Structure 1
């Protein structure tokens, strides 16, 4: 649900305060934010977070890595509570806008099981629930090679969270089911139905292991470019090619595993994921990253290597090979090859200068292959590696 800037936060706060004004002790308000500056060393393409409409080049800007969020939880009794989270950031417009990220009722069934109904976080990745809370993460931002594979962050529906312990191992299992949609920077909306997810986390002392799986059916019916290509190919008898790029109730999935280790001064985090779909317009991909850090008092320097590659063909079979219909071939192949192929190496340092604030500096050397990679608005001559520089202050309250 998209709202005008700050309206989500105001509406949520007013509604909660009005409903629970007679017992303010049951209301908890917390917040988080990141104030950042980001720039690159090229003007031939823009670096952006997933699904941002515009990014940054050689002039430092605040919009790419900055955000602000407020979360309100109202406790009705020992077993029922209501939570809303508003988030301000740049997404599919080039202006800061507010969105209602979470809005759910939570029922505690017993000491192990909780049910949530409404808009809940979708556990796609290892840091899904706090991916927008910079202070909770070692890195300045999650590696874009991994986190562009699935840009969904929430689902409208229901989930169940079960927690238990086996010996010294804590186990958390989460099942979600619902629907959602996602606006694209290309002015279309992807609609996700029958969306189910499984998230299992095992924690034993300093070690965390995670397995995740998301399955859904996706439809894109308002993309002028896709409709033109599919309709044109079918009009001229290239039905198999049209079917291979159509996105109509198409099955798609994302499977991932993750590892985290925080032992004495050593900090390690790694993820691996595979995206699959039944259409070449949503290419199959593999992505991964590994981060190593070493804590020295209030300072935590770290290094990261990340990679993303495409597993499905980057051309569409059965399209026209000559004549005026070649435009359909070029268009279909552009869809099939749109997934980023890229590696990156990053150096960074986190300084916890306050109990609720941290300064981060990060340098990324990103190397796209066979296209612009994760960069957007690229000029025709764009090629080679790009340096990305960022400084940020993360805070919570």
Structure 2
């Protein structure tokens, strides 16, 4: 545990400094890192950019069903969404891919215990040997700054050299360290303390986080300070849930790109009216607790007339939830948004047999639900 070659260079000379609490914010350097860090205030060498030999970072971690990778090595990412929206499953699908490719993964989870994480991995088809040999699950219950905790995680990272490090439960992790979720300074401090040092070791670091409750006003942001987005130098994915994930259920979420700093992912996505590119459809079919099928389908650009499936789902839900048949104004009041898009959605629902129209008073048209519409259908 105290091998000098494994000791991060700026954590002090050894355990006595740790025990005295004289350890600065961690830089989880690998064993063969240079003893003297490169000065970051020195002007950078631009020769490779000027002579055309510079190569932009490319995603290499995880993959979509068509082989397109999801995350950049050595960079910080985030996956955000509502509860039961599939964030952890989405990350574990990439964990399974990395293990199958012969790479190592460290999963840091401030919320769940190891059996829950490993159980999901096994359900996704990861082998017992791969998990035993090249996977580590860390469940922190006290701050990184206490005792030998920095040394423990540094040892695990140096031993495994993971390509992918998901971090689940950012809210709980920040609270554990006495940091305020809505304070951008504290958000940045958490990144410097835990996320950035791991990324500097070459791993794709990915936080799993919640979105704000207000669907209309959430935009691209996770709950808390905007630095959660601004501080990322990789990508942020937003999972828009269509059907909840759970045992015995088929969960569905649309995966959108909220940020892509290196700029290599959006070309594999389709533009969307929200401004967030449509990157994939994540579908997870749970047969039972031990067997789960997961797919990450690429987006498909539909030919033919515009079909606003998201608004069609909202209209279907509005008609289904009403105590009596609704006229057009009643639907517009419940759905909100552009009236022409609602009219188009309603026309499709009627034409495709989801909604029935009957004459109402004063020449109005009353709409009743025949069968529910699902956006993924």
Q: Given the two structures, how large is their TM-score scaled by the length of structure 1?
A: 0.26
Higher strand proportion (structure 1 or 2): 1
The structure that is helix-richer by fraction is: 2
